[in-house]
Structure 1
């Protein structure tokens, strides 16, 4: 998919998207062949005013039908996310019509052309909407989308289109990494993907094998991967865009390449190759950060392994020795992500001298019960860092909902035989996502930290307007925008 900027309408097109708001129904010059029908539809009041309302016109021009989608942006009070979803719906209509070239008359929405961040986000959408995962199809799915022609006279749009492509393509990379089955995308393959990416970007990469992780005393991480024939890898990507002495922002992603639940066996697991959505997000984010040359140092850390069953797998009741020094009573082998993250967090702090830390993980089913399926659940020990993530969320149009690190729930993970336990077995206090956050907080020491639980939003069970069924790539844009805010 190519997104190109044009000062005037292109003469040959297959579909067109025309946004409008309550007080600006038609604010730009349209090609004569479509201006009449559009004006008639608008004057007839056929479109509801609510943001996201769409109206399709099918015009027979030059020997073929052209789809024109009018999309309402409401009365000016809509959030960035609502505008994003409105455009996604309109572009999905064009995708369904197999439109090769779609014109987007952006100047008809002054609220967007006057907001560079929103304009950039809209220009990500053609990439996101047109995505297909065809790696294992004998006959590829082809939706026909080839170009989005953005018609606008606003200054600086070419630069924004380039940035949008970097972020969107990085999001699609994350989708690909997750969508591959674990028979292919195992820890070793993920390490190879990161090595190739680092070479393309000109950034540093370091891959630690099992023996090297043992030498660093990463006992919690290694215990999770012990039951798998695929050996674990600790993957570290380093982007140096800031001052040499500046501590890097650490992006730590959960990299469970397949999660069977271990001996705390899951009942369904056909999508459990998606449990490395956090890893994919930090890998995609550092790609976008490096391509945009943001003036900040960043590391991406992924402790990659499979959580499987074998004669050597860890079992409930085991005591795990973390890199931090804390002893962990393991009561539930399906609460494994927090174990790998504990050692990954400690690595970022003690080996990479991290400054602020953001971890991102498909961590708990409880998060969905708390915030629904359109937001991630977010926790933080630092108000300033959280405010930066919140601002980034608005820019990225990736919703977050903050939950408290409620200390009154901490007793449910106090152990009678070790320093801490990984699960609140037998407790009726609830708050599973909060309890997981409290566990992770024990390993961030005195660092500013945000934890993003993306279990509700990392995977779609059916197609939505901006993502096909499967991995969404959620988190790439959120992390990129957060680092961009931090680097100001």
Structure 2
């Protein structure tokens, strides 16, 4: 997709127009459209999320126009703005229009800052479609989008950052969407190396022997039944040489999860390529942070592996060790993600000298019952750190909800035969997070569960079916701000 910022508003150059309009400022300077008549007949009133498509005559050509309702000027959220603009774009894309423009009727620089950022992000993300393995797909002509706005040159930096964020989100989606027979731990590590070279961050990959040397017994217990060896991926970005503080990200990297001996039903396994959504989030975030040259030091790690079944599989009832030295009773081999995360967490805290740490994972089905697909669930031991993350989610138009940590929940993760159990029971989202938090070294820490938000069953707004690239943009803002 080619996106340009243009000052001229010669609408007869285009085959399609996207026109966002506020409910309480129902006016349009550039073309003669009977907005008042549309309002009277309730066909289009500018209400948030509502669109209206029409064909107009401009010069000697017909132009498809999509009116996009933004709601009241003071009520529009960034999330609604993203999805509404995306819906307007999708409406024109369905008509196979390749030459389109988006018109902002606004002379407020601060508002246009937000509008342009939203337009670039939403339309690039809404344009994404995963069809890598379709043999009969036609090569389609590139879509050209001009954003028509006053003082266009003032917003080039805004456009550049928005393009970086949208591209990084798409990188994460594409990693998740690859089938597990292609995207295994080896392929993931190779892809990350290429991304590091392209975007400018350092990548180190540890193989099986090095993982064993680090005594990552919990991680290895999950990985050992697979014919494909695990890869521990370390990404380092030094954006502030004058500061020794390092922000740490840990992403769950199960490239496929069968459930192990506690095997999932077939219906539960079909989308388990998405169990690396946390890994994709931190990889995408590292791409954005590095490409935008954010002034912050960030280290991210991913313990990549598959949870499979073989004669050497770990079993329910086993007691295993961990890099952090604590023993774990295995109540269920399908509670595997937290086992890989604790060794990754211990590594980043003890070996990379991070000052704050966030882990992100498609960790529990329970998270879906907490917040559905509308928000990611989280727990944290530091309110100030969480507030920074909450603000970062708001800046990106994504949503997060903090769950409580009570002393009673902390007791649930203990076991009479070992130090901890990997199946502590309800509330499952909280107890799973607290299990991981046992290895955070008492640093400011946040656990984010994206089980409900990392994968979409159908396309809607900025989301395409499949991987959503959730949390890439919030993790970028957390580092930047």
- The answer to whether TM tops 0.5 is yes
Query: CA 1:112–1:72 in 2, change beyond 3 Å: closer, same or farther?
Result: farther
Contact 1:99 1:145 in 2 (8 A): no
Instruction: Give the C-alpha shift of residue 23 in structure 1.
Output: 2.8
Match of 2:122 among 110, 122, 125: 125
Give 3-state SS (helix, strand or coil) of 2:299's partner: strand
- 2:303, 2:340 within 8 Å by CA — same for their partners in 1? yes
| Residue in structure 1 matched with residue 375 of structure 2 by the alignment | 375
SS in 2 for 1:256: strand
Contact 1:20 1:72 in 2 (8 A): yes
Relative to structure 1, the CA distance from residue 188 to residue 222 in structure 2 (aligned partners, 3 Å threshold; closer, same or farther) is same
For residues 231 and 397 of structure 1, the distance between their equivalents in structure 2, rounded to whole angstroms, comes to: 37
Q: Distance in 2 between matches of 1:60 and 1:291?
A: 43
- Is the contact between residue 319 and residue 418 of structure 1 (CA under 8 Å) also seen in structure 2? yes
Aligned to 2:473: 477
Match of 2:13, SS state, is coil
Q: CA deviation at 1:272?
A: 0.4
Query: Which residue among 433, 449, 452 is the counterpart of 1:437?
Result: 433
**TM-superposition CA deviations, 1:322-358 (whole Å, max 9, x none):** 1111111111111111111111111111111011111
Per the alignment, residue 95 of structure 1 pairs with 93
1:189 and 1:278 map into 2 onto residues whose CA distance is 17
Identify the residue that residue 170 of structure 2 maps to in structure 1: 172
- Change over 3 Å in CA distance of 1:192–1:214 after alignment to 2: same
| Counterpart among 161, 179, 182 of residue 180 in structure 2 | 182
Offset, 1:66:
2.6
SS at match of 2:32: helix
The alignment partner of 1:114 has SS state of helix
Question: 1:358, 1:449 within 8 Å by CA — same for their partners in 2?
Answer: yes
In the TM superposition, residue 62 of structure 1 has moved relative to its aligned partner by 6.3
Which residue number in structure 1 is paired with residue 415 of structure 2? Answer: 415
Within a 5 Å distance, the mapping from 1:57-456 to structure 2 comes to: 57-61=54-58, 65-75=62-72, 76-106=74-104, 108-109=105-106, 114=111, 116-117=113-114, 119-140=116-137, 146-154=143-151, 156-243=154-241, 245-267=243-265, 268=267, 269-424=269-424, 427=425, 430-456=426-452
SS of the equivalent of 1:304 reads strand
Distance 1:369 1:142 in 2: 41
Give RMSD over aligned pairs: 2.0
TM-score, with structure 2 as normaliser:
0.94
The question of whether the paired residues in 1 share the 8 Å contact of 2:301 and 2:344 is answered with: yes
CA contact (8 A) 1:358 1:452 kept: yes
Report the Cα distance in structure 2 between the residues aligned to 1:165 and 1:62, rounded to whole angstroms. 33
Q: TM-score, normalised to structure 1's length?
A: 0.93
Q: Which moved more, 1:201-210 or 1:296-305?
A: 201-210
Kept after mapping to 2: 8 A contact 1:278/1:454: yes
Moved more, 267-276 or 146-155: 146-155
Equivalents in 2 of 1:474, 1:64: separation in Å? Answer: 41
